[in-house]
C-alpha cells in the first residue's frame, strides 16, 4: 500500500513538472486600440525558451513577405535574411525564459509590418469572473525602461488561428 501511494505521488509530481505552461497553445492577437483580431499565433517552448510563430494575419493575404524588416536581428532564432521571410510560419516572438509558470520575459518580439523589435514579456491571465472574463495572454512589448504597451490575446484552436487571412 505504501509503495502504491509513493508511486502515485511520484507520477503526480512528474506530471506537473512536464505539463505545458498555460501560455503555450494557440492565441488570437487583438489590437489594443481597435479591439480587432490581427493575427493567429502558436506559442510554444523548445529547450526552455518560449517562441511565438504567426500562423495567419487578418490584414494581409497568405504569403506576404516581411520586406520592412532588417536583414537580421540579434538573437533571431532562424538563419537567413529576415526581410525575405514570409510572415506566416516565422518565429516573430523569441528568446523568452520563464520567470515562473505563466510568466515569461527576457525575449523579443518583432512587428513584421514595420520591422521594429521590442523587448517582450508574456503573462497568462486566468479567468476570474471579474477583471478577466476569459483566459487571456498579456503580451507586453517595450522599448525600454518599462515604456511600452500591452495587448490581451484570446485563446483559440489551431484551425481558427491558422485561417484569418484577408482575401
What tens digit of pLDDT does each residue of 51-81 get?
Answer: 999 999 998 899 999 999 999 999 999 999 9
- pLDDT tens digit sequence for 92-151: 999 999 999 999 999 999 999 999 999 999 999 999 999 999 999 999 999 988 899 999
Q: How many domains does the chain have?
A: 1
Residue 79: inside a domain, yes or no? yes
Residue 94: inside a domain, yes or no? yes
Range of the domain at 110: 21-162
Residue 13: inside a domain, yes or no? no
pTM: 0.86
- Specify which residues 91 forms β-bridges with: 53
Buried b (16+ CB within 10 A) or exposed e, 1-37: eeeeeeeeeeeeeeeeeeeebebbbbbbbbeeeeeeb
The CA-CA-CA angle for residues 160, 99, 77, to 5°, reads 60
Amino acid at each position: 500500500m505504501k509503495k502504491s501511494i509513493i508511486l502515485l505521488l511520484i507520477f503526480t509530481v512528474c506530471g506537473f513538472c512536464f505539463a505545458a505552461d498555460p501560455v503555450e497553445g494557440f492565441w488570437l492577437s487583438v489590437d489594443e486600440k481597435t479591439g480587432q483580431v490581427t493575427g493567429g499565433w502558436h506559442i510554444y517552448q523548445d529547450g526552455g525558451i518560449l517562441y511565438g510563430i504567426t500562423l495567419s494575419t487578418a490584414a494581409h493575404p497568405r504569403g506576404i513577405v516581411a520586406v520592412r524588416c532588417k536583414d537580421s536581428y540579434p538573437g533571431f532564432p532562424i538563419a537567413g535574411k529576415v526581410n525575405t521571410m514570409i510572415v506566416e510560419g516565422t518565429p516573430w516572438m523569441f528568446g523568452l525564459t520563464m520567470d515562473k509558470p505563466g510568466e515569461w520575459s527576457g525575449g523579443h518580439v518583432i512587428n513584421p509590418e514595420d520591422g521594429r523589435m521590442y523587448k517582450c514579456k508574456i503573462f497568462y491571465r486566468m479567468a476570474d469572473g471579474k477583471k478577466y472574463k476569459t483566459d487571456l495572454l498579456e503580451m507586453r512589448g517595450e522599448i525600454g525602461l518599462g515604456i511600452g504597451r500591452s495587448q490581451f490575446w484570446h485563446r483559440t484552436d489551431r484551425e481558427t488561428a491558422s485561417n484569418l487571412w484577408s482575401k
